[in-house]
A and B are shown apart, each in its own frame.
Chain A
Amino acid sequence: MSTDAHYTPYHPKWYRRRVSVWWWLKNRTYAGFVLRELSSVFVAFFAIVLLWEIRAVLEGPEAYAQFTARLQTPLFLALDLVAFLFVLFHAITWFNAAPAAMVVRVRGKRLPDWVVAGSNYVGWFLLSMVIAGILLRG
């Protein structure tokens, strides 16, 4: 914060504390926020794996077999599990935050938060069912 305060005996200098590098460990909300921001790295990881898969499919069955074999190594299984947990955390905190950003009014009355968040979860569930249906059909 800026001030133009000049130092005189009757107007002494204000004391400013530096913000610690570890500020985000000070409470749960801060830590949750930093984890949510960090989860974007794992969302990107899934996107890269998907691009990698597309390339393998285009290169033919041999490349695809190599791709799936590599995904089954312990390193990738562990990485996938961590990434999955982060993406889940990202999705849940995002849906829970939705009511704060979206004020939906029906006949002048604001819809309660759980309806706004709930509709996001229902949409997520339906979309997941459609994708599961497509994948499990064959």
Chain B
Amino acid sequence: MSRATSSTVTLEVTRYRPEEETEPTLQTYEVPLEQDWVVLDALNYIKDRQDGSLSYRWSCRMGVCGSCGMMVNGTPKLTCAAFLTDYAPGPIRVEPLQFFPIMRDLIVDVTDFLSKLKSVKPWIIRDTERPLAEGEYRQTPDELDAYQQFSQCINCMLCYAACPVVGLEPDFIGPASIALAQRYNLDSRDEGARERLDILSTHDGIWGCTFVGECTKVCPKHVDPAGAIQQYKLTSGLDSLKSLLLPWGAK
């Protein structure tokens, strides 16, 4: 790679080696300040040239896989989309996603998120599957439009790192999981909204959300989890009002 500039920028990177130390520390690295480098490029440069022991997750480098989410100067970011020049002259602080347990350096444990995600049944639920011979389930463009925004989620967990409720209430199901539940609720092929409502219309579900709104701001895919949760609250509220006024009505 050609060096267009000779200037450098300082990265302050969280190190945590659980077999050696009891709490994380910051280590500084000096990297070239290239016009076309993102924070992930700088981390790869450090790992290749300066310190092979630095650990972090990454894969696609193009904002699709959702692996490289970290705190950059205190804000959750996909490091593959955070350009060094936007943070010049630095120093740039790179930390693991907050509110998650740290496993090593910039790697966090996502087990809890995955179990929460699974708990909301983010897949199409049918009362009865149509026979294959009847063909595919068709949708109009409007029906697609109803949920498409929420289907853009890449499970990068930036919204979890942005949400103070996630930090303060460990059992809160969290933004992305609720947005993905809503993605299936709004899908015209799905019939599982009732099942999901029982799981999500709880204190640990939608009612745990206090609408801080930061999840929507940090989402790299414009999913708008905060909107999904508030819309879900409205649906759930109307639903319980209905069952209060019409207790004999079919559930």
Q: Is the interface of B mostly helix, strand, loop or mixed?
A: mixed
Residues of B within 8 A of A5 (CB): 109
B16 beta carbon closer than 8 Å to chain A: yes
Would A33 and B210 be within 8 Å (CB), given that A24-B164, A100-B227 are in contact? yes
Count A interface residues, CB 8 Å.
Answer: 28
Which of these binds chain A: B31-39, B118-126, B212-220, B243-251? B212-220
Docked complex: B200-229 residues within 8 A CB-CB of A: 210-214, 216-217, 224, 226-227
Pairwise interchain contact B16-A15, C-beta atoms closer than 8 A: yes
Pairwise interchain contact A29-B213, C-beta atoms closer than 8 A: yes
A137 beta carbon closer than 8 Å to chain B: no
A115 beta carbon closer than 8 Å to chain B: no
Pairwise interchain contact A14-B19, C-beta atoms closer than 8 A: no
Which of these binds chain B: A55-63, A75-83, A101-109? A101-109
A73 beta carbon closer than 8 Å to chain B: no
Pairwise interchain contact B99-A19, C-beta atoms closer than 8 A: yes
Q: Min CB distance, A109 to chain B, in Å?
A: 8
A30 beta carbon closer than 8 Å to chain B: yes
Docked complex: B101-137 residues within 8 A CB-CB of A: 101-103, 109, 111-113
Pairwise interchain contact B210-A37, C-beta atoms closer than 8 A: yes
B75 beta carbon closer than 8 Å to chain A: yes
Size band of the interface chain B makes with A: 35 or more
Docked complex: B225-242 residues within 8 A CB-CB of A: 226-227, 230-231, 233-234
Work out how many contacts link A and B, with CB atoms closer than 8 A: 83
Pairwise interchain contact A100-B230, C-beta atoms closer than 8 A: yes
CA distance A137 to B74 in the complex (A): 55
A1 beta carbon closer than 8 Å to chain B: yes
A-contact 0/1 string along B161-204, CB 8 Å cutoff? 00010011010000000000000000000000000000000000
Residues of A within 8 A of B101 (CB): 1, 3, 14-16
- Give the nearest-CB partner of B74 in chain A: A26
Q: Min CB distance, B161 to chain A, in Å?
A: 12
Pairwise interchain contact B100-A29, C-beta atoms closer than 8 A: no
CA distance A37 to B213 in the complex (A): 13
Docked complex: A84-107 residues within 8 A CB-CB of B: 97, 100-103
Docked complex: A28-69 residues within 8 A CB-CB of B: 29-30, 33, 37
Docked complex: B3-58 residues within 8 A CB-CB of A: 16, 18-19, 23-24
Residues of B within 8 A of A100 (CB): 211, 213, 216, 224, 226-227, 230-231
- Cβ contacts A to B, 8 pairs, < 8 Å: A1-B100, A1-B109, A1-B113, A3-B111, A3-B112, A15-B24, A27-B75, A100-B231
Which B residues lie at the A interface, using CB under 8 A? 16, 18-19, 23-24, 74-75, 98-103, 109, 111-113, 142, 145, 164, 167-168, 170, 210-214, 216-217, 224, 226-227, 230-231, 233-234
